[in-house]
C-alpha cells in the first residue's frame, strides 16, 4: 500500500506528521539512540493535543542545528508545512482506537517512503559500480 498524500483524515495526517518530526530529529542528531518514537509514539497517538506541541518545539530546536544536507532540510520543512496545514487550527484531544490505527498507518506509510528512497538510491549506486 502506498501513502495517501491526498488524505485529509486528521489521525492519518498526524501519523505522517509524527514521522516527519522523527526524520527531523534523526537528521539533526544522526547518532541518537532513542528517538521521539520511543518516548512519545503511544501518547501522540492517544492524546495528540498534549504531545504535538512538545514535538513541534523539539522540531524547531532540531531545525536550528547544522545539517549535512540543506536540500533534505528544505524537503522536511516543506512536508512539515503541508501536513500541519492539513491538521487545521487545533490538535484533537483524544483519538479513538480506530483513529489510532489510522495514525499508525500514516506513520508507517510515511516512514516506508523514506526507506523506499534509500533502497532505490542504494540500488542505483550499485548499478553504477
**Res. 104: pLDDT tops 70:** yes
CA 47 – CA 76 distance, rounded (Å): 24
DSSP 30: T
Mean pLDDT of the chain: 89
Contacts for 88 with CB less than 8 Å, ≥ 6 apart: 10
Q: What percent of the chain has pLDDT over 70?
A: 88
The per-residue pLDDT for 68 is 81
The per-residue pLDDT for 119 is 46
CA 129 – CA 125 distance, rounded (Å): 7
Q: What percent of the chain has pLDDT over 90?
A: 76
The per-residue pLDDT for 125 is 47
Confidence of residue 14 (pLDDT cuts 50, 70, 90): very high
CA 33 – CA 100 distance, rounded (Å): 25
Amino acid at each position: 500500500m502506498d501513502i495517501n498524500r491526498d488524505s485529509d483524515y486528521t489521525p492519518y495526517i498526524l501519523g505522517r506528521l509524527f514521522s516527519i518530526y522523527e526524520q527531523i530529529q534523526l537528521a539533526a542528531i544522526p547518532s541518537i539512540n532513542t528517538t521521539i518514537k520511543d518516548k512519545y509514539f503511544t501518547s501522540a497517538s492517544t492524546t495528540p493535543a498534549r504531545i504535538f506541541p512538545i514535538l513541534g518545539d523539539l522540531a524547531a530546536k532540531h531545525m536550528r542545528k547544522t545539517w549535512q544536507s540543506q536540500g533534505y532540510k528544505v524537503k522536511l520543512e516543506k512536508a512539515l508545512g503541508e501536513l500541519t496545514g492539513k491538521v487545521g487550527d487545533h490538535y484533537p484531544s483524544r483519538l479513538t482506537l480506530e483513529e489510532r490505527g489510522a495514525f499508525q498507518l500514516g506513520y508507517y506509510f510515511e516512514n516506508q517512503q523514506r526507506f523506499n528512497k534509500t533502497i532505490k538510491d542504494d540500488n542505483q549506486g550499485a548499478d553504477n559500480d
